[in-house]
């Protein structure tokens, strides 16, 4: 009997109690297994995040640097300015880094204000 057939039988009240309990136990076990896999994937993702945060922290100095400058110092195809910015924000929240506005020259040659980061 397929899942669909079992659900239809449940709706129609055609399943006996033992079959219903067995079906529910199997579904609960499948949900638990799925949740465990999700936890494992999340743990791996967090570990990767922690590694990048540590790399970003190690690149900070007493001089202000922009997100672009810091991202440019990190090798890896999956490292983006956005990910670096996220780690910098976390470091500022943790009190490890501070941020201040700095003036940098834009692509058009004009000066613009961006956030610079340095060690606290």
DSSP string, 44-74: HHHHHHHHHHHHHHHH--SS-EEHHHHHHT-
Residue 76 has pLDDT above 80, yes or no: no
User: Which CATH number does 3-119 carry?
Assistant: 1.10.10
State residue 16's pLDDT score: 85
Task: Calculate what percentage of the chain has a pLDDT beyond 70.
Answer: 98
pLDDT tens digits for 108-117? 888 888 889 9
Q: Is 79 left (phi over 0), alpha (psi -120 to 50) or beta?
A: beta
- What mean pLDDT do residues 104-109 have? 81
What b/e string do you get for 86-99 counting C-beta neighbours within 10 Å, with b at 16 or more? bbbeebeeeebbeb
* DSSP assigned state of 17: H
């Amino acid at each position: 009997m397929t899942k669909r057939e079992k659900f239809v039988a449940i709706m129609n009240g055609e399943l006996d109690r033992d079959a219903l309990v067995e079906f529910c136990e199997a579904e609960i076990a499948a949900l638990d297994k799925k949740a465990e896999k999700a936890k494992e994937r999340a743990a791996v993702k967090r570990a990767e995040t922690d590694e990048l945060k540590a790399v970003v922290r190690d690149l900070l100095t007493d001089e202000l640097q922009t997100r672009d400058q810091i991202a440019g110092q990190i090798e890896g195809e999956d490292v983006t300015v956005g990910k670096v910015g996220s780690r910098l924000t976390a470091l500022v929240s943790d009190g490890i880094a501070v941020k201040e506005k700095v003036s940098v020259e834009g692509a058009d040659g004009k000066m613009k204000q961006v956030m610079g980061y340095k060690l606290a």
